[in-house]
Amino acid sequence: MRRLLREPLLHFFLMGTVMFGVYGWLHRGSMSSANEILVTRGQVQNLRLQFERVWQRPATKQELQGLVDNWVKEEIFYREGTAMGLDRDDPVVRRRIGQKLEFILESATPPVPTDAELQAWLDAHPHDYRIEPTYSLRQVYFDPARHGARLEADIAAARRTLESGKAVAGDVTMLPPTMEAVSAIEMTRVFGNEFGEGLRLLPLNSWQGPVRSGYGLHLVELTANEAGRHATLADVRAQVERDLSRARAEEASAAFYDKLRANYAVRIEGDSAVVDPAAKPAN
């Protein structure tokens, strides 16, 4: 409880409440009573600005009148509706208000992480920031449907020809015969997942395979490759900052909920299948 009292957000809320009270007291003359609707100059100006923000031009006199009339109608319906309790137990309203609170929490700009913090995050999540290996290769394609029972023999023969330094056309395909410095993920996009996996252990500058793809089989000659590696902060600073900020916002949001939750005792009636996981003995 003591920690909660030190919670800055709580302070903000309390101050907000106090400010609102003070404001109301100071402006008590202009506060509208139950059956009076006062459209303040500020409100009119807001409607005017909202219109401008959408339409990029000022509202005409007639349009502004329409906006105000509509606002008044909405206000009356809103007041009557809330008086009837229509806002209670309405899933849309409940969710909306909750979402708004969450949204405000999330949009509070968190402090910019220091380099040390960024580095620590990167060190803790090296796999999220791996620089992909890249490959350059030549490939010769074999469509199993076109070779049938001769497939293995045809591939073996083609391989011998290639090893003797002569070219082999393979089956006609739209798949690229050569690829230069292409990342593993791009390789996967073109040939499918298995092919990308199949490349990993191939030696350089010799015809290997057959390697499977989503299309059939390939003899492959890797002409260059660059191993994948863990990124340095300089490589991925923007991404690390984005991800760390996101993680912090999630933590803050969860912590805020925990604190609020601790203020409530929840009882769930009559259904043993449902329990309150946060229930603690009252202290």
108 near other proteins (CB under 8 A): yes
DSSP 171-197: S--SS-SEEEEEEHHHHHHHH-HHHHH
Q: DSSP for 210-261, please give it.
A: EEE-SSSEEEEEEEEEE--EEPPHHHHHHHHHHHHHHHHHHHHHHHHHHHHH
Work out which of 4, 21, 24, 55 binds other proteins, going by CB under 8 A. Answer: 55
Q: Judged by CB under 8 A, does residue 109 bind other proteins?
A: yes
| CB closer to other proteins, 99 vs 265 | 99
Task: Using CB under 8 A, pick the residue from 39, 68, 120, 151 that binds other proteins.
Answer: 151
* Residue closer to other proteins, measured from CB, 34 or 238: 238
Interaction between residue 79 and other proteins (CB under 8 A)? no
Query: Total residues at the site for other proteins (CB under 8 A)?
Result: 80
User: What single string gives the DSSP state of each residue in 194-224?
Assistant: HHHHHHTTPPBSSEEEEEE-SSSEEEEEEEE
Asked if 219 and 208 count as a contact pair (C-beta separation under 8 A), the reply is yes
Amino acid occupying residue 66: G
**Binding status of residue 281 toward other proteins by CB under 8 A:** no
Question: Which is closer to other proteins, CB of 195 or CB of 221?
Answer: 195
Residue 282: CB minimum distance to other proteins, A: 30
The single residue among 138, 143, 233, 256 that binds other proteins, judged by CB under 8 A, is 143
DSSP state of 46: H
Check if the beta carbon of residue 204 is closer than 8 Å to that of residue 225.
yes
Build a one-symbol-per-residue string for 156-195: x at contacts with other proteins by CB under 8 A, - elsewhere: x---------------xxxxxxx----xxxx-xxxxxxxx
Among 31, 37, 49, 224, binds other proteins (CB under 8 A): 49
Piece in contact with other proteins (CB under 8 A), picked from 78-86, 116-124, 137-145, 257-265: 137-145
Q: Does 239 bind other proteins (CB under 8 A)?
A: yes
Residue 120 or 128 with smaller CB distance to other proteins: 128
Interface stretch with other proteins, choices 76-84, 115-123, 140-148, 265-273 (CB under 8 A):
140-148
Cα-trace Rg, the chain: 33
190-219 residues near other proteins, rule: CB under 8 A: 190-197, 210, 212-217
Is position 100 an interface residue for other proteins (rule: CB under 8 A)? yes
Chosen residue from 231, 233, 252, 260 binding other proteins by CB under 8 A: 231
Provide the total of helices (H) and of strands (E) in the chain, helices listed first: 11, 6
- Candidate list 118, 219, 220, 236; residue touching other proteins; CB under 8 A: 236
CB-based contacts of 105: which residues, under 8 Å, 6+ apart?
9, 249, 252, 253, 256
Q: Quick one: tokens of 214?
A: 């989503």
Which are the contacts of 200, defined by CB distance < 8 A and separation ≥ 6?
133
145 lies in the site for other proteins, by CB under 8 A:
yes
Residue 47, Cβ neighbours under 10 Å: how many? Answer: 19
First to last CA, the chain: 11
Query: Tell me, what amino acid is at 86?
Result: L
